[in-house]
């Protein structure tokens, strides 16, 4: 049981590896449960808010794009399913990244006084957001099916792995952003507008085909373009076939995760003094 404190994850090094793993799982469960509880149970509207916000957005977009602008050509689908299938994952990212970025500050007391792997805070924050948004996503798919939109539920066989790939990449980004935020408080302020801009550069409210041809490769290069495209393939078209691009995306997500964790672990030993 002898280990030295040179390990990077704090007191995990003080126990046998098995015990450390068990402890970290217990901690992660604890943090995750707390994230879920404090986010929605504390507010008056409770869990409903997780669903109400995206639904309200969807309603506004519906009004703007079908009643005011009267855009069309949603690749043969209604506006609602076309946008809804793509909107939720983006909202998940849009909520997960800023929350995770500032998550360490909420655990400052613990970080300053207790030895534990700080990564767990970021994991719990991202996991809680994605879990709640995914629950909202499923609810909306059911509602769409109930009002007669043709949703291919078998497509979830591919949609769920797609969400997982997105989550892995979000975890990596979140780790890096959260670690940087501890030292440089501007991260949070730069992130919000960036995500807002990214949303309009992603073919969520419009199909890629409406983009002028010479700009299409640029828009398609956005990883979210790939994600929403694949989600529409499986849930709207019922196409489950895998593509080469999927392997690239998995590889890229793992790379982002590894890179983010590397940044985090480099900076984590100094958190105690700065958080």
Partner 1 sequence: MSALLTVQGAGKDYAKVDTRRGRVRLVWDLLRGHAAARVFRALDGVDFELERGASLGVIGENGAGKSTLLKIVAGVIEPTRGRVHVNGRVGALLELGSGFHPEYTGLANIELAAALLGLAPQEIEGKRDEIIAFADIGEHITQPIKYYSSGMVVRLGFAIATALRPDVLITDEVLAVGDESFQKKCIAWIERYLEDGGTLLLCSHSMYHVQKLCQVALWLRDGRPERYGPATEVAQAYLAFHEEKEASERQPLAEAHARTAGLYAIRSLELAPGDRIAQGTDLTICGEVLSPDGRPPVVLVGIVRADGTSVYGVATDMDGVVLDEAKGDLYPFSLTLVRLALLPGKYFVRVHALDPGALRLFDHVERSFVVTGETREFGLVTLPHRWG
Binding site for partner 1 (CB under 8 A): 1-6, 8, 10-11, 13-15, 19-20, 22-23, 26-27, 29-30, 34, 38, 107, 109-110, 112-116, 180, 183-184, 263, 266-267, 269-270, 272-273
Q: Which is nearer to partner 1, 3 or 209 (CB)?
A: 3
Q: How far is CA 182 from CA 101, 115, 161, 169, 186, in A?
A: 9, 17, 32, 20, 10
Orientation angle between helical segments 79-101 and 156-183, nearest 10 degrees: 30
Angstrom distance (rounded) from CA 131 to CA 254: 20
Shortest distance, CB of residue 119 to partner 1, whole angstroms? 15
Between 20 and 91, name the residue whose CB sits nearer to partner 1: 20
Using CA atoms, how far residue 90 sits from 184, 200, 229, 249, in Å, is 25, 11, 12, 16
Number of other CB atoms surrounding residue 114 within 10 Å: 11
Q: Do the beta carbons of residue 23 and residue 117 sit within 8 Å? A: no
Which pair of structure tokens corresponds to residue 40? Answer: 């929605």
- Min dist. Cβ of residue 20 to partner 1 (A): 8
Nearest to 140 by CA among 125, 128, 127, 156: 156
Judged by beta carbon, residue 99 or residue 152, the one nearer partner 1 is 99
């Amino acid at each position: 049981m002898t280990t030295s404190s040179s390990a990077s994850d704090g007191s995990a090094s003080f126990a046998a590896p098995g015990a450390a793993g068990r402890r970290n799982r217990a901690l992660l469960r604890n943090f995750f449960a707390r994230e879920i509880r404090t986010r929605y149970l504390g507010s008056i509207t409770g869990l409903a808010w997780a669903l109400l916000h995206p639904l309200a957005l969807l309603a506004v977009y519906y009004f703007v794009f079908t009643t005011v602008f009267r855009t069309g050509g949603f690749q043969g689908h209604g506006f609602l399913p076309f946008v809804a299938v793509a909107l939720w994952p983006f909202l998940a990212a849009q909520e997960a990244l800023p929350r995770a970025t500032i998550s360490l500050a909420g655990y400052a007391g613990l970080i300053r006084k207790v030895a534990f792997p700080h990564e767990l805070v970021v994991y719990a924050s991202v996991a809680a957001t994605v879990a709640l948004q995914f629950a909202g996503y499923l609810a909306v798919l059911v509602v769409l099916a109930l009002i007669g939109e043709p949703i291919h539920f078998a497509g979830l066989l591919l949609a769920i792995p797609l969400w997982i790939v997105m989550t892995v990449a979000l975890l990596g980004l979140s780790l890096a952003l959260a670690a940087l935020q501890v030292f440089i408080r501007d991260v949070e302020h730069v992130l919000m507008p960036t995500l807002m801009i990214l949303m309009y550069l992603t073919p969520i409210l419009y199909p890629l085909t409406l983009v002028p041809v010479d700009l299409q490769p640029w828009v398609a290069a956005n990883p979210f373009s790939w994600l929403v495209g694949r989600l529409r393939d499986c849930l709207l078209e019922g196409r489950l076939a895998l593509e080469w691009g999927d392997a690239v995306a998995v590889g890229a997500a793992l790379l982002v995760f590894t890179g983010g964790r590397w940044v985090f672990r480099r900076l984590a030993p100094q958190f105690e003094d700065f958080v």
